[in-house]
A = this chain, B = another copy of it.
Amino acid sequence: MSVLPTGPALVTVLTAILMFGLAFQVGRARIKHRVMPPQMTGPPEFERTLRVQGNTLESSVPFLAVLWVFALTVSQVWATVLGLVWIAARVAYAVGYIRSASGRLPGFMISTLIFLALMLGSLVGLLLDLTRSPSAP
């Protein structure tokens, strides 16, 4: 057994797989719509696929940051549960947004709410840490 909390670590690897999968989708969309690198504009479906990948990266970095602080100060189990729902919401966002611009909204809203919950929980967890251990190094 390693020292790593398994649940949040699994969510982290799944987030990495999601980012990799979406970059792969951009590669496929480049071939389908004949948009050669380094071009970043093309038909609407290509540009939506590009935004899915870009927005997911932009969301994953702050998500992973608060996921780990939440896991280590509040609850590993809840970090894992919320993390898995976040990933499902981001998959729904990707599938919906590639189809149409409005299709991005349900997944976007659910993943944003989960981010906010992890973020507020992290701040509370850090505050409790500080008050519980005033003499810690």
Interfacial residues, chain A to chain B (CB-CB below 8 A): 1-4, 6, 9-10, 12-13, 15-17, 19-20, 23, 36-40, 44, 47-48, 50-51, 53, 57-66, 68-69, 72-73, 76, 97, 101, 104, 115, 119, 122-123, 125-126, 129-130, 132-133, 136-137
Contact = CB atoms under 8 A, between A and B. Distances in A.
Determine how many copies of this chain the complex contains. 3
B58 A4 contact: no
A86 to B, nearest CB: 13
B48 A16 contact: no
A6 B130 contact: yes
Main secondary structure of the interface of A (DSSP, over half): helix
Given A6-B130, A129-B2, A133-B1, A17 B119 contact: yes
